[in-house]
Amino acid sequence: MIDDGTGLLTIGELARSTGLTVRTIRYWSDEGVLTPVTRSAGGYRLYDAESVARLELVRTLRELGLGLDDVRKVLAGETTVAEVAAAHVVALDAQIRSLRVTRAVLSTVARRGSTAEEMTLMHKLARLSAAERRRIMEEFVDELFHGLDTVDPCIKERMRSIAVDLPDDPTPEQVDAWVELAEMVQDPEFRAQMRRTMEFNASDQARSAHPGRSTWFPMRLLQLGADARRRGIAPESPEAEEIVREVLGEGGDPAAVLERMVSASNDRLARYRELLSTVKGGTPAAAHREEFAWVVAALRARAAG
């Protein structure tokens, strides 16, 4: 405190009383968040007790991550600390999610021994915003159903409700699965393959198949295939005949059903289902490759005959 009875502090005294550096206080003063009360005869900045309290508030706000623009607005009464804090919580949450994704990507790179090019691609895809990730999936689904008004509504609803996104704290396996999934759904060959499956479905529905059958039918095939494998029945054996008849129904054509099964039960679609399950926190066992493969083999044996 200068010894003139005014109780004012020089910038050096203010620094000593608050523990801040003279350089920091001078910078904040130059930026207009800590205006000096007056200046001495020698031109030095002078501050009072209120300046000390203001300086403590500025320091607290800065330590919480607020920029000087926000600090000025709070000090000027243009906004409240609560309002600014709420906005920063949102921003920090976004930063935390981004850092978690980055950490998961780096863990995946370290585990897989990825090349620089592969790491760049993984990081680019994994760091897409939630809106961009949603757009990729929505465009994929839109292309599948474009012009196919007779697709089973249950299938449409299920496909459109798939919200595939990385969780807030993804594992390296989930990042890996998301990257592979994003590449897959943007691959024209895979899109054409999925489109063919939807065209089969639309054709079936156009012949008055009951809504929901497209959801029920694969589950029934899964049950039949699982039961046959559990009983040790070979798909080419005579014992499989009864099971195939149950799949086909009266007058069913093995070749026609086989074509639809192959379109919906191939390795790439199985991998697609596995990736979806992994990203959403499930296990890849949901693809049921062996069970569907048994049904396909049994149908193929009858269609060839």
Three-state secondary-structure class, residue 281: coil
- For the stretch 154-175, what's the b/e string if a residue is b when 16 or more beta carbons lie within 10 angstroms of its beta carbon? ebbeebeeeebebeeebebebb
DSSP conformation letters of 79-140: S-HHHHHHHHHHHHHHHHHHHHHHHHHHHHHHHHT--HHHHHHHHHHHTS-HHHHHHHHHHH
DSSP-derived secondary structure for 208-247? TPPTTHHHHHHHHHHHHHHHHHHTT--TTSTTHHHHHHHH
Q: What is the pLDDT of residue 122?
A: 66
Answer for the pair 213, 152: CB distance below 8 angstroms, yes or no.
yes
How far apart are the C-alpha atoms of 34 and 20, rounded to whole Å? 13
For position 23, what pLDDT does the model report? 92
Q: Which of 58, 158, 175 is nearest to 105 (CA)?
A: 175
Give pLDDT, residue 165: 66
What local confidence, expressed as pLDDT, does residue 219 receive? Answer: 66
What the block records as the tokens of 48 is 């009072």
Q: Which two tokens stand for residue 38?
A: 């007056």
Report the distance separating Cα 194 and Cα 24, nearest Å. Answer: 62
- Here the tokens at position 95 are 């930063």
Name residues of the chain where pLDDT drops below 50. Answer: 1-3, 206-208, 210-216, 285
With contact defined as beta carbons under 8 Å apart, do 37 and 47 qualify? yes
Joined tokens for residue 3:
């010894």
Give per-residue burial for 179-212: e unless 16+ CB within 10 Å, then b.
Answer: bbbbebbeeeebbebbbbbbebbbebbeeeeeee
Q: Are 101 and 175 in contact (CB under 8 A)?
A: yes
**H/E segment holding residue 9:** strand 9-10
